[in-house]
Amino acid sequence: MSDFEPSQPGAAGAPTAPGNVPEYTVTELSLRLKRSIEDNFGWVRVRGEISGFKRAASGHLYFSLKDADSLLDGVCWKGSAARLGVKPEDGMEVICSGKLTSYPGRSKYQMVVERMELAGLGALMALLEQRKQKLAAEGLFAPERKRPLPYLPRVIGVVTSPTGAVIRDILHRLADRFPTHVLVWPVLVQGEGAAEQVARAIRGFNALPENGTVPRPDLLIVARGGGSLEDLMAFNEEAVVRAAAASDIPLISAVGHETDTTLIDYASDRRAPTPTAAAEMAVPVRLDLVAGVAGLDERLRRSITRMAQDKRRHLDSLGRGLRGPREQLDMARQRFDDLSDRLRHALRVGVAAQRARMETAMARLRPALLKREVADYGRRLKDADARLLRAMRQRQAEATQRLSQPAKLLESLSYRNVLARGFAVIYGADGRALNSAEAMAPGANVAIEMHDGRRDAQIIGGSSAPKKTSPSTVAKPSKQESLF
């Protein structure tokens, strides 16, 4: 009997199904339904809108295809997901190809998707417009993010296919205009995995160290030849756009022909209509630079010659207005003699004035005046010393009074005052105070502290309740030694 045959009645006495209706187990019925669905829908193409898209940690894709009235669960295994031509998103209208099957664990049927494509050019344009608005809202296309291109880059990094005509056109144009060191990062520019490779190449160029073995480019060119909108989809992916916007190196996008526009064009620092135009933007024409430098050199030479001639004429005119050196020396000698006479007179007048001021000061400094001032300063010093001594004594008395009150309070609260009234403190062998008779076992060594000292003692005898005695009956002293 096949594993999928319905169960038959067992041994004698087993109940039989009523009528001719076969009996199935749940697993048998689920497997029959699964086989029936897979046999009748082994390969189908379904058009619908993606809803509830989720990428599991295992790499499998789970989503639903829906239209106005119905919903179909879909799953795309990890191996097939890596080969999809588009990147699934919620709200995207697609055409999925695969087979229908069931999931017995939940009594549900679903579609196992092997291929996925956008449902027409209109849907693709709507998707691109939606993605463009989303990225623009994040500020990736803002004009203030654009950076100027370096005037004369030493190293240019090119991200493109190494086998196409694009790289040859760029290298040829650079060689014609200004030969420059070019680094090519080979990538796919179309199809599966192209977007990831382009984004990885942009990030890789930015990750190169400044002084490493591989020189870090001063300018990047992302280039591809023309093609249909589907062919250029790799340059519309978010990964490529975000990598271009995050590039620290200025970037030129040269994707497609002049009429082609991709999302990387909005995120790049400069858009070139063609790869050849990108090479023209990257470097100036060397011959033009040489001619310009030669022209500037000639203008500089003529300017220096003209300036030297003007300076010479000016110097000659100044020399004609100068007097002879002997005449200049005589005038200087005359000024020297005049200043010498004025200096002698000024010295005599100054010395006389200083002598008069000194005599006046000496007259003011008489002995009696000095004695009075010294005596006055002495009296003021004694008064200050007496005030300082009184202040110190007063502060000392105030401090003594403030300290005496806490000392008296501390003395009144001390347990030694209690000992002075006839009480004692008993300490055990561990040095801790005992507060119970039960803690003192017979034969234990204790220490008894009274107000005037401490004595060691030993406990003799067990515990017993105190007996009441009358004042007239007093126990006779025994020969037993006192505990104290």
Whether 233 maps to a domain, the answer reads yes
pLDDT of residue 478: 46
Same domain, 156 and 271: yes
Same domain, 157 and 259: yes
Whether 172 maps to a domain, the answer reads yes
Whether 136 maps to a domain, the answer reads no
pLDDT in tens, the chain (484 residues): 444 444 444 444 445 555 677 888 888 888 888 888 888 888 899 988 888 899 999 989 999 998 877 889 999 998 888 888 778 888 788 889 999 988 877 778 899 999 888 776 566 777 788 888 989 999 999 999 999 999 999 999 999 999 888 999 999 999 999 999 999 999 999 887 889 999 999 999 999 998 889 999 999 999 998 877 777 888 989 999 999 999 999 999 999 887 778 899 999 999 999 999 999 999 998 888 888 888 898 899 999 999 999 998 888 887 776 666 677 777 777 888 888 888 888 888 888 888 888 888 777 766 667 778 788 888 888 899 889 889 888 988 888 888 888 877 777 777 777 777 778 888 888 888 888 877 788 888 888 888 788 888 888 876 555 544 444 444 444 444 444 4
- Segments forming the whole domain that contains residue 314: 293-322
pLDDT of residue 153: 94
For 13, phi then psi, to 5°, come to 90, -10
Same domain, 103 and 198: no
Q: Where is the domain boundary, 119, 138, 166?
A: 119
Same domain, 177 and 267: yes
Same domain, 30 and 58: yes
Cα 280 to Cα 433: distance, rounded to the nearest angstrom? 101
Whether 85 maps to a domain, the answer reads yes
For 108, phi then psi, to 5°, come to -130, 150
Q: Which residue type does 383 have?
A: D
Q: Where is the domain boundary, 263, 284, 305?
A: 284
Whether 240 maps to a domain, the answer reads yes
Same domain, 111 and 158: no
Same domain, 187 and 220: yes
Same domain, 89 and 174: no
Cα 92 to Cα 88: distance, rounded to the nearest angstrom? 7
Whether 124 maps to a domain, the answer reads no
Whether 176 maps to a domain, the answer reads yes
